[in-house]
Amino acid sequence: MILRSNSPQARHPYYISVSLNCFTPSSHITSVRKYEWSELGELVGDFEIAAKDSKNVNTVFFRGREHPVEEVLVSSSKLFRHHWTWKPIEAHLPSLYWEADNSGDIITCFLSKDRTNANLLAKFVPRSHRRRSGREFEHPKLEVTPKGHEVFEDVLISLLIIERLRTNV
């Protein structure tokens, strides 16, 4: 997948690929690169998520270090809402607070636990319906606010992990 900005100031596209771990076929590795698709592109990060019943540890490689996903992404559920906190790998970066209702129609990212428009960093709208003949294909949509551009790569990696875990059946 190629992620491009609609903004005229867009710096460069991001290339997102998913591959199978050939030693653990129930495990998939998602890689995010800048500038180019191939190994020549700068690796932003990658993560490996195994099937729910697997004994493998889910990991994320980001900012030059690998961590168990559970160390950097904490999830919780409260009365029809799911929450995730992305803990920064580097101390000078802020935590990100993600929230989705049970329907999963919109997943939002905030700069603080105070989930107001002033703290809004991004909104993700997954596809709402399956493809069908005669109906236009609906692409998932990620909207990032100007505040979110400062931590865009954290927004992107954390969202990809959340969506993978959320839809992992």
pLDDT tens digit sequence for 98-154: 999 777 789 999 998 888 888 999 999 987 767 778 777 777 889 999 999 989 999
Beta carbons within 8 Å of 132's beta carbon, 6+ residues apart: none
Domain hosting residue 62, numbered range: 2-167
pLDDT at 8: 64
Q: Please, which residues bridge with residue 33 across strands?
A: 15, 43
pLDDT at 169: 58
Reported confidence tier of residue 9, pLDDT bands at 50, 70, 90 = low
- The answer to whether the predicted template modeling score (pTM) of the entire model surpasses 0.95 is no
Number of domains in the chain: 1
pLDDT at 136: 78
pLDDT at 31 over 80: yes
